[in-house]
Chains A and B, each alone.
Chain A
Amino acid sequence: MSKSPTQVLVVDDEEDLELLVRQKFRRRIRDGDLKFLFAHNGKEALEVLQEHPDVYLVLSDINMPVMDGLTLLSQLADSDKDVQAVIVSAYGDMKNIRTAMNRGAFDFLTKPIDFNDLEATIEKGLKHVQALQAALETRDRLVAVKQELEMARDVQMSFRPKEIPNSKTHDIKGIILPAREVGGDLYDFFYIDESRIGLVIADVSGKGVPAALFTTVTRALLRASSSKDYSTPGECLTIVNELLCENNPSCIFITLFFGVLDLRNGELHYSNAGHNLPRLLRADSRVEVVPKTNNVVLGIQPGHTYNNGQVQLRPDDTLFLYTDGITEAENLQDEEFTETRLDQSLAELAGVSSERVATKIVDVVRDFAGDAPQSDDITCVVTRFRPGAS
Chain B
Amino acid sequence: MEEKAKLSVETEDGDRATILIVTGRVDGSSVGILESAVQEQINAGKKTLVFDFKDLSYISSAGLRALLIAARLTQKEGGKALFCALADHISEIFEISGFNEILEIHDTRANALGAL
Contacts and interface: CB of A to CB of B under 8 A. Distances in A.
Interface string A274-304: 1111000000000000001011110011000
B68 interface: yes
B96 A205 contact: no
Interface string B5-26: 0000000000000000000000
Interface string B52-74: 00000000111011001100100
Given A206-B28, A251-B72, A375-B28, A274 B101 contact: no
A113 interface: no
B29 A274 contact: no
A296 B98 contact: yes
B65 A252 contact: yes
A294 B99 CA distance: 10
Nearest to A183: B28
A163 to B, nearest CB: 28
Contacts of A206: 28, 61-62, 65
B96 A276 contact: yes
A205 B28 CA distance: 9
B104 to A, nearest CB: 14
B28, B61, B96, B97, most chain A CB atoms within 10 A: B61
Nearest to B68: A251
Contacts of B29: 375
Nearest to B27: A375
A289 to B, nearest CB: 11
Given A207-B28, A255-B61, A274 B96 contact: yes
B110 interface: no
Chain A: interface residue count, which band? 20 to 34
Contacts of B27: 375
Nearest to B72: A251
A275 B102 CA distance: 16
Given A251-B72, A375-B28, A375-B29, A205 B102 contact: no
Contacts of B96: 274-277, 292
Nearest to B61: A205
Contacts of B97: 255, 274, 296-297
Contacts of B62: 205-207
Contact of B68 (A253, A292, A376): A253
B29, B60, B72, B95, most chain A CB atoms within 10 A: B60
A322 B101 CA distance: 24
B98 A274 contact: yes
Interface in B72-116: 72, 95-99, 101-102
Contact of A296 (B60, B61, B65, B102): B102
A21 B11 CA distance: 60
A317 interface: no
Interface string A190-209: 00000000000001111100
Nearest to A207: B28
B69 to A, nearest CB: 5
Contacts of A292: 95-96
A273 B102 CA distance: 13
Given A277-B96, A292-B96, A297-B97, A251 B65 contact: yes
B24 to A, nearest CB: 12
A229 B53 CA distance: 45
B4 to A, nearest CB: 10
Contact of B102 (A203, A255, A300, A328): A300
A206, A251, A277, A296, most chain B CB atoms within 10 A: A251
A253 B66 CA distance: 11
Contacts of B61: 203-206, 253, 255, 324
A303 to B, nearest CB: 12
Given A252-B65, A253-B65, A294 B72 contact: no
A297 B28 contact: no
A255 B69 CA distance: 17
Interface of B: 27-29, 60-62, 64-65, 68-69, 72, 95-99, 101-102
9 contacts: A204-B61, A205-B61, A207-B28, A255-B97, A273-B98, A274-B99, A277-B96, A301-B101, A375-B27
Given A251-B72, A375-B27, 16 more contacts: A205-B64, A205-B65, A206-B62, A251-B65, A253-B65, A255-B97, A274-B99, A276-B96, A292-B95, A294-B98, A296-B97, A296-B99, A297-B98, A300-B102, A324-B61, A375-B29
Complex A-B, nearest 8 residue pairs according to Cβ-Cβ distance, in ascending order: A296-B98, A274-B97, A205-B61, A205-B65, A274-B98, A251-B68, A251-B69, A297-B97
